[in-house]
Structure 1
Amino acid sequence: MGTYRAGAAIKTVGLVAGGYVGAGWAAFLLGRGLCVRAWLRRSEAGDELRAEIDALWPDLERLGLAPGADRARLEVFTSLEEALAGCDFVQENAAENAALKAELYARIDGCVAPDVLIASSTSSLSMTDMQAGCRHPERCVLGHPFTPTHLMRLVEVVGGGRTDPVAVDAAMATYTCWGKMPVRLSREIFGHIGNRLATALWREAVNLLLEGVASVEDIDRAVVEGPGRKWAISGPFESYHLSGGKGGMTRFLESYAAGIQRRWDDLGTPVLDAPTRARISELVEARLSDVPVERRAAQRGALLVNLMLALAPPAEA
């Protein structure tokens, strides 16, 4: 077991690759008053990254910037070695390609001191596979954010087969220090927690759409105005526990288990083959293409900020 830089000791974060997730991380970290050194393959991608950060910055301003927050603390490099020089923590955001990430991790491992954590934003892949070529695999962890990364607090954390448990502790402490809400997985599983849960719901949403049960608009509305409203406050276990009244989960299961089992047995299993993908795209585009994606994303961001402010715990007197 080793000792790793964590929490308030981290002043400079190395960002490996940009894109949608990387830009969200960059904006968030800058908003927390940290220095960010970003490695991007293309020199022109630096201007793209700065433009994306500028677009996200108003959301962070509304939530409240940390002392020292400054977009000028971003530096962009096309050399991985230069980008990671002096970094206290690394957040990797490369494409979801197992071989690419394993190669990249081996390179990152050679660029930073052994006590620097290397975290991956991968939404599904195994840390065990990614750390295979590292000389110091013990400090490699999963740090998967939920998007939009600059706003959503969830970060899923787990180590690979050769990860030091102390490194996982350090990652949990670091994300907590930054204001994120990390959850720890006891073991690796494809897709982690949040994406598996979201995918299960979306599979049935696709099934209902393809079966002609309801429209795109009404399926989305049913989630937003139904379980989604409660899940923003309490998760599925607590929600169903409360649905049991004074009897809690025991009473809920006594009353509803048979109906739940029948629904489980009746859930659809659509296959995302080419015709199915085309049909989903056709129906969703027909419903949502009237407003540009960028404007919808901005509207969602503003509403998420409202929600986060509304759900923030009251300040102590």
Structure 2
Amino acid sequence: MNSKMNKIEQLAVIGTGVIGNGWIARFLAMGYDVVAFDPAEGAAERTRLAIERAWPSLEQMGLAEGASTARVTFVPTIEEAVKNADLIQENVPEREELKKNVLKSIDQYAKPEAIIASSTSGIKPSTLQEGLQHPARLIVAHPFNPVYILPLVELVGGEATTSSIMERANQFYQSIEMKPLIIQKEIEGHVADRLMEALWRESLHLVNDGIATTEEIDAAIIYGAGLRWAQMGPFLTFHLAGGDKGMRHMLEQFGPALKLPWTKLEAPELTNDLKEKVISGCEVHAGDVPIAELEVKRNEFLVKLLDLVEEYWHEPNKVSS
């Protein structure tokens, strides 16, 4: 494959919900043209509004030369959206059969050398490759909301994915200022969502059992673990907890406690009572502040926090001697 065929210039986005629009905003901010398709009524207008909300944060982070909110075009069919694309980002709802059908259409109309990247948060790429004419070029590229700010993208190849496709994808996502995490072994939910799911399940149990309110649980993360995790993550955080001997001492001292039944692990039944506790707790916590205003505050915080993360991030395998 020659260098021109390797180059990613034309981008398509299929499905323009929260994640799809987040991708569009990031792509535009990096100076790309985007062709989008979504059959839902009013999709183009919702995308325009989403880009407008995201743009102040993107301006603060720094726009690429030529970046413009006007460089997105909606088209009426998947064929028209993907026919000239070098990379297609799929973001339809998380229903396996729906995704497979959409991906088959993309695969049918896209150029053979185009990369097809699914934003799926839970489905394994090998499952999505089933029935495709060109399964080798399909990968998972799972981002995190808001996509236009958070840099992590989990890249997962399926049984048919080639190493050259993974390398091209890795280079592309790095080029749009993301932090690709290449998952070596596919698993449902990938890595980051499995970690968040474990915390989410335990949080629901604590609310359900009347141990803590939604606001108290959020405070426990915000002013405790969350601050440390933003810099070091759980493993290096515990490494420091072991004192001068690091993780070795930490496991010796606290390892036995892992046998204690502190966590529930399995999710509680999502009863109407639990739903109301969670919903009412969040509504009380948020008060009268509209979601759109909360998003603005979140974005402002994340942009500032990312600067700190970059300043203090401990690069793996780059410990000074």
TM over 0.5: yes
1:297 to 284, 287, 295: 295
2-structure distance, mates of 1:302, 1:203: 28
Letter in 2 for 1:19: G
* Cα deviations by residue, 1:130-181 (Å, 9 ceiling, x for unpaired): 2212110000000000111111111011112222232122212211121100
2-structure distance, mates of 1:171, 1:133: 22
| Mean CA deviation greater in 252-261 or 110-119 | 252-261
1-structure distance, mates of 2:123, 2:3: 24
CA displacement at 1:289 relative to structure 2: 4.2
1-structure distance, mates of 2:309, 2:302: 10
Residues 57 and 300 of structure 2 are in contact (CA less than 8 Å); yes or no, is this contact kept in structure 1?
A: yes
Aligned twin of 1:94: 92
1:197 to 195, 201, 211: 195
Residues 6 and 170 of structure 1 are in contact (CA less than 8 Å); yes or no, is this contact kept in structure 2?
A: no
* Cα deviations by residue, 1:178-236 (Å, 9 ceiling, x for unpaired): 11001111222111111110111111112112222222222101101101001101111
Secondary structure of the corresponding residue to residue 66 of structure 1? coil
CA displacement at 1:273 relative to structure 2: 3.6
Residue pairs, 1:105-124, within 5 angstroms:
105-124=103-122
Secondary structure of the corresponding residue to residue 156 of structure 2? strand
2:243 to 245, 249, 267: 245
CA displacement at 1:43 relative to structure 2: 5.6
Aligned twin of 1:134: 132
CA displacement at 1:244 relative to structure 2: 1.1
Residue pairs, 1:90-239, within 5 angstroms:
90-239=88-237
2-structure distance, mates of 1:34, 1:132: 31
Q: Percent identity?
A: 34
CA displacement at 1:5 relative to structure 2: 7.5
| Mean CA deviation greater in 279-288 or 235-244 | 279-288
Cα distance change, pair 131–289 in 1 and its aligned pair in 2 (3 A): farther
Secondary structure of the corresponding residue to residue 181 of structure 2? strand
Letter in 1 for 2:278: I
Cα distance change, pair 219–4 in 1 and its aligned pair in 2 (3 A): farther
Cα distance change, pair 108–101 in 1 and its aligned pair in 2 (3 A): same
Secondary structure of the corresponding residue to residue 120 of structure 2? coil
CA displacement at 1:85 relative to structure 2: 2.8
TM-score by length of 1: 0.92
Residues 43 and 77 of structure 1 are in contact (CA less than 8 Å); yes or no, is this contact kept in structure 2?
A: no
Residues 214 and 278 of structure 2 are in contact (CA less than 8 Å); yes or no, is this contact kept in structure 1?
A: no
* Cα deviations by residue, 1:225-269 (Å, 9 ceiling, x for unpaired): 10100110111111111111220110111111123432xx22124
Q: Is 1:267 the counterpart of 2:263 in the alignment?
A: yes
* Cα deviations by residue, 1:85-113 (Å, 9 ceiling, x for unpaired): 32111100001110011111111011111
Cα distance change, pair 313–5 in 1 and its aligned pair in 2 (3 A): farther
1-structure distance, mates of 2:226, 2:5: 34
Secondary structure of the corresponding residue to residue 141 of structure 1? strand
CA displacement at 1:6 relative to structure 2: 8.6
CA displacement at 1:284 relative to structure 2: 2.4
2-structure distance, mates of 1:117, 1:78: 21
Q: Structure 1: which 5+ runs fail to align? A: none
Aligned twin of 1:68: 66
1-structure distance, mates of 2:2, 2:210: 56
Letter in 1 for 2:212: A
Residues 109 and 135 of structure 1 are in contact (CA less than 8 Å); yes or no, is this contact kept in structure 2?
A: yes
Secondary structure of the corresponding residue to residue 71 of structure 1? coil
1-structure distance, mates of 2:150, 2:75: 27
Q: Structure 2: which 5+ runs fail to align? A: 313-321
Secondary structure of the corresponding residue to residue 139 of structure 2? strand
1-structure distance, mates of 2:104, 2:237: 43
CA displacement at 1:126 relative to structure 2: 2.1
| Mean CA deviation greater in 230-239 or 280-289 | 280-289
Secondary structure of the corresponding residue to residue 148 of structure 2? coil
Aligned twin of 2:317: none
Aligned twin of 1:58: 56
TM-score by length of 2: 0.91
Secondary structure of the corresponding residue to residue 157 of structure 1? strand
